Chain A
């Protein structure tokens, strides 16, 4: 079974630029999560989708962050414009509707200079 795929793995941008991350969850997993993990901290949930609907986006900074999962499969997370404090690893995870275990992808390491 293929795991959660994410791309790119690394990205360096200047502040005020925009960036997008892509995630493809495990096949058949209805629930998809985006997390932000700042160095030395635990992952922080940004948004949770079930199929193509948003379950929770209460911690998503909506003035600059957006995410979509139009067809209920893969998802994109965008930051526009980026700030220095957005430097972090962005993790995507997925789970089945019946399951509680979250499977994480390798993450995208973003550096904002």
Chain B
């Protein structure tokens, strides 16, 4: 079946450093969502990207959708300990709106 590659699998940073996770698909995407899951918690929606080349910002988080709609990135500027968790991309290839395929996630740890 269709899969999405998410890298890196783990990222350890010092507080204040930047962090980026990437999501790649071999097939054009309809849209992509990003979720955050804190340790022991459940996924929480962050954002959805739909348009080619789209860039959205939420405070220290910047989300990008590639021009070809096959890749996306999430960048966190100046990480804080509250950013700890696993970040998942979830892609839709054009089926029903809610039919999402999740990546394996990038687990972020932040050292104070």
Contact = CB atoms under 8 A, between A and B. Distances in A.
Interface of A: 31, 33, 40-45, 48, 55-56, 91, 93, 95, 100-107
B75 interface: no
A7 B111 CA distance: 35
A104 B48 contact: no
| Majority SS at the chain A contact face | strand
A31 B99 CA distance: 11
B43 A104 contact: yes
Nearest to A41: B104
Contacts, number: 53
B102 A43 contact: yes
- Max count, chain B CB within 10 A of own CB: residue among A41, A42, A100: A42
Nearest to A33: B98
B15 to A, nearest CB: 25
Nearest to A91: B42
Interface residues of B, number: 22
A6 B57 CA distance: 32
B45 A102 contact: yes
B95 interface: yes
Given A100-B48, A104-B44, A42 B88 contact: yes
A45 B99 contact: yes
B105 interface: yes
B82 interface: no
A54 B66 CA distance: 33
Given A48-B96, A100-B33, A42 B48 contact: no
Contact of A45 (B100, B104, B105): B100
Nearest to A99: B97
Given A42-B88, A100-B48, A56 B104 contact: no
A43 B104 contact: no
A40 B97 CA distance: 25
Contacts of A93: 43
Nearest to B31: A100
